[in-house]
Amino acid sequence: MRIKVKSFPRGEIDKSVDLPDKSTALDLFKTLNLRPDNWIVSRDDRVIPDDCPLKDGDSIRLLSVVSGG
């Protein structure tokens, strides 16, 4: 399946990714070599859990988590 992925706020990721059927956001992180604890996954303007199955044609937004003191 093919999904579109964009990252926010800096937009360093903006591409289409091919994943096997029944892949989850965790599989997407592995494919992109990203740490899941640094990102929030959004589909259709709704946050989804990392273990949520993705669907062919999804547009996924990865929101960067920023913390500090």
- Against a cut of 0.85, is the pTM above it? yes
pLDDT score recorded for residue 50: 93
Residues 3, 16 contacting (CB under 8 angstroms): yes
Taking the C-alpha atoms of residue 2 and residue 13, their distance in angstroms, rounded to an integer, is: 15
Q: What digits encode the pLDDT tens for the residues 22-31?
A: 999 999 999 9
- CATH number belonging to the domain at 2-64, selected among 3.40.190.10, 3.10.20.90, 3.30.390.30, 3.30.470.10: 3.10.20.90
